[in-house]
Amino acid sequence: MQRGETRRGPLRDAATLLDECGVIVACADPALSQALDGMQWQTLFVGQRSDWGQRIGVHTLGHAIFEQGLQPHIGWCGKALVMPVAPDFFGQPLTEQRQQLDHALAQRLADDHWLATPRELWPLPLLGIPGWWPDNDNPAFYANTDYFRPSRRAKSASVTA
């Protein structure tokens, strides 16, 4: 948030989303981050399922995410902030992973213009993350397009095709 900002604007909206429902997505593979950006849920959660915890992982940040996690439900969604990490990141102890992410996030937050708009945070249906919900062991779980929505880009492409 810009210092001295009195009106609600994109900077403040983005900061609020990060504070409320932010999740940090540590990612060592640009293709996985592109799948998240493109809302390619089948690729991200089914096709690349074995990469979770090995090349991509989620660390919760927003306090509302924790509150909603007490009673998870279809619709539970975080706002993902992707942070690139080195390939050896996932071999480190969890405390070291969190320290690295904390440090990287603190550096970014020092720049008042870093998170300029809420669109820089990508939707992430949390129950789709492998290991977070027992129903997602079945690939058919991801067929619920009300929860695993296609991106606007994918919708507009199918309308024009």
Segment 7-61, tens digit of pLDDT: 677 778 778 788 889 999 999 999 999 999 999 999 999 999 999 999 999 999 8
Instruction: Please tell me the predicted confidence (pLDDT) of residue 129.
Output: 96
Is residue 75 pLDDT above 80, yes or no?
yes
Say how far apart CA 117 and CA 58 lie, in whole Å.
21
Is residue 160 pLDDT above 50, yes or no?
no
Token readout for 154 is 């994918």
- What is the percent of the chain with per-residue pLDDT over 90, rounded to a whole number? 62
- Residue 5: pLDDT band (50, 70, 90) is low
Amino acid in position 110: A
Amino acid in position 33: S
Q: Under a CB-based contact definition with an 8 Å cutoff, are residues 82 and 28 in contact?
A: no
Q: What is the pTM of this model?
A: 0.84
Average pLDDT of the chain?
87
Say how far apart CA 120 and CA 30 lie, in whole Å.
16
Instruction: Please tell me the predicted confidence (pLDDT) of residue 24.
Output: 94
- Which residues does residue 78 pair with via DSSP β-bridges, in sequence order? 124
Is residue 161 pLDDT above 50, yes or no?
no
